[in-house]
Amino acid sequence: MPNPLLPTQPFALSQDNLDPFRSARNLFHIPPSAADPSRPSIYLTGNSLGCQPKSTRALIEQDLDDWANLGVDAHLNGRDPWLPYHEWFRSPAARLVGALPGECVMMNGLTTNLHLLMVSFYRPTTDRFKILIEDSAFPSDSYAVASQLRFHGFDPATDLIRLRPREDEHTLRTEDIERTLEREGKSIALLLLGAVNYLTGQWFDMPRITSAARRMGITVGWDLAHAAGNVPMQLHDWGVDFAAWCSYKYLNSGPGAVAGAFVHERHHKDQTLPRFAGWWGNDPATRFKMGPDFIPVASADAWQLSNPPIFALAPVKASMQIFDQFGMPALREKSLTLTAYLEILLDTHCKDKVTILTPRDPAARGAQLSLAVKGATRDLERRLHAQGLVVDFREPNVIRVAPTPLYNTFHDCWQFVQVLKTSLS
């Protein structure tokens, strides 16, 4: 990280000239500015929907052409044959989340995957049946775990433990999570946290929390929606039981894109695990014998149901190719500097009216900074958008800003803060 980071426009421009990721920005379509359509917007909402890679269209059109020209034969003879299509994603996904290739599969949507995984890994008993989440979990996670509790005959009002920050604090302390695990652990069946909290941008201490929960005999799952493609992880080494993530945020694979799932290899050969079965989870050696008996393949593929949606996976391939080109370690290095620069700009120019909710410790956050803006309403988001800034508003007064390292620049950060400062004056 350069020292010092200077909150000036010349410094921002000089950093962009030295940026080894300058070429990466050219791989993406940056939406045009609402203020001047001839120029790109200051797009700082990759934590909500990432920009489109320019290679996406060609990959989709390739599969469309194969369908038109080959029909069913494209399953075996297409340029990227459809029968083994999903297998290509194993290694790139594993590199993304720190896993073994057989531990990852791209399938379905995020909440669907969480439900399918909870079928196997939320196994309540009369003594151990509670689920632990963070109070500010993304709503879909809250809905999912509450519905799982009800499905098994439990009451979310009493059996869903919601972790809350201390009074006058915005984020959770790891030691408080550990104390809850120690106090309630014998009754908790499942811990399911968002690795990076969608609202505050806090990156939880995943290895420490995972270890603490597993010592108490608790199954550990993580929602990686805001972590995948944002922060480096080692799910296999940390001993995580399962995880799921979407791929339309930092992974730039398009709205509603095919999601990912991770299942630790220690579970792969356990055929006693309950699961919902479908033919693409069946062992490929017997899949096309078309028999009635389900034989799960000994990998994360066993949690698949249907054959992969080829046209929906093509954009994921475009994204994964870019992540493999640059690598998470290098992306994280730039992200640390870029987010620190945004933080310094905000402290210098907007400190009186903006409170940063996200942890100040770089190790406890990804790219996103969540800003509580005094007196702000959704009108602030509209006014910023009209000036060419694309950010994200959350009630009651939070602006989420995510300078993503693949396509955002230091000058983007500088311009955002100058417009925000003026808008708040």
Nearest Cα to Cα of residue 205 among 252, 244, 171: 171
> Omega before 396 cis (within 30°)?
yes
Q: What is the mean pLDDT for each group of 10 consecutive residues in the chain (425 residues)?
A: 81 95 96 97 98 98 98 97 96 98 97 98 97 96 98 98 96 98 97 98 98 98 98 98 98 98 97 93 90 93 96 98 96 97 97 96 98 94 96 95 98 98 91
Q: How high is the pLDDT of residue 355?
A: 97
Give per-residue pLDDT as tens, 22-70. 999 999 999 999 999 999 999 999 999 999 999 999 999 999 999 999 9
What Cα–Cα distance (Å) separates residue 268 from each residue in 97, 102, 236, 242, 383? 18, 9, 13, 11, 51
Give per-residue pLDDT as tens, 112-170. 999 999 999 999 999 999 999 999 999 999 999 999 999 999 999 999 999 999 999 99
Question: What domains appear along the chain, each with residue ranges and CATH number?
Answer: 9-53+327-424 (3.90.1150.10), 84-324 (3.40.640.10)
Q: Give the tokens for residue 297.
A: 């393949």
Nearest Cα to Cα of residue 188 among 177, 197, 202: 177
Q: Give the tokens for residue 380.
A: 């602030």
Q: How high is the pLDDT of residue 1?
A: 54
Q: Which residue has the tokens 């080692």?
A: 234
Q: How high is the pLDDT of residue 349?
A: 95
Query: pTM score, two decimals?
Result: 0.96
Q: How high is the pLDDT of residue 181?
A: 98
Characterize the bridge pairing of strands 398-401 and 392-394.
antiparallel
What Cα–Cα distance (Å) separates residue 329 from each residue in 96, 115, 325, 383? 10, 31, 11, 36
Q: Give the tokens for residue 251.
A: 């992974």
